[in-house]
Amino acid sequence: MRFLSKAVAITCKDVLSEVRARETIPSVLIFAVLVIVIFNFAFGAGPEQMKLVVPGILWTTFVFAGMLSLNRTFIQEKEQGCLEALMICPVKRQDIYIGKTLANFIFLTVIEAISLPIFVILFNLPIIVLPKLIVITILATIGFISVGTLFAALSVNTKAREMVLPILFLPVVVPVILSAVEASALALTGESWSSMASWLQIIAAFDVIFMVVSYLIFEYVIEE
Amino acid sequence: MKTSHIVKLSLLALSAVLIIFAHYLVFLYVPTEAVMGIVQRIFYIMVPVGWLAMLSTFVLFIASIYYLKTRKGSWDAVAYSAVEIGLVFTTLTLLTGILWAKPAWGVWWTWEPRLTATLVLWLILLACLMVRTTATDPSRGSAFAAVVGIVAFVDVPIIGMSTTLWRGIHPGGIILDGGLAPPMLLTLLVSLAAFTALYALILIIRIAVKNDQMTIDKLKTLRG
| Structural domains in chain B, sorted by start | 3-223 (1.20.120)
Average pLDDT of the segment spanning A38-54: 78
Average pLDDT of the segment spanning B164-176: 61
Q: According to the model, what pLDDT value does residue B170 have?
A: 55
Average pLDDT of the segment spanning B125-141: 89
Going from N- to C-terminal start, the domains of chain A cover 2-222
Element (H, E) at A89: none
Contact A158 B135 (CB under 8 A): yes
Distance CA B194, CA B201 (A): 11
What ipTM is given for this predicted complex? 0.90
Interface subset of B 21-60, CB within 8 angstroms of A: none
| pLDDT bracket for residue B163 (50, 70, 90) | confident
Q: Is it the case that residue B178 has pLDDT exceeding 60?
A: no
pLDDT digits (tens, 9 = 90+) for A47-84: 777 778 888 999 999 999 999 999 988 888 888 788 88
Instruction: Express as a percent the part of chain B with pLDDT over 90.
Output: 52
Distance CA B194, CA A139 (A): 44
Amino acid present at B114: R
Q: According to the model, what pLDDT value does residue B130 have?
A: 92
Q: Is it the case that residue A45 has pLDDT exceeding 70?
A: no
DSSP A157: T
| pLDDT bracket for residue B122 (50, 70, 90) | very high
Contact B154 A209 (CB under 8 A): yes
Please give the mean pLDDT across all residues of chain A: 88
Q: According to the model, what pLDDT value does residue B80 have?
A: 95
Q: Which of the two residues, B28 and B175, has the higher pLDDT score? A: B28
Query: For residue A178, which residues of chain B lie inside 8 Å, CB to CB?
Result: 162-163, 166
Average pLDDT of the segment spanning B180-205: 90
| pLDDT bracket for residue B57 (50, 70, 90) | very high
Nearest to A166 by CA among A87, A67, A60: A67
Q: Does B87 touch chain A (CB under 8 A)?
A: no
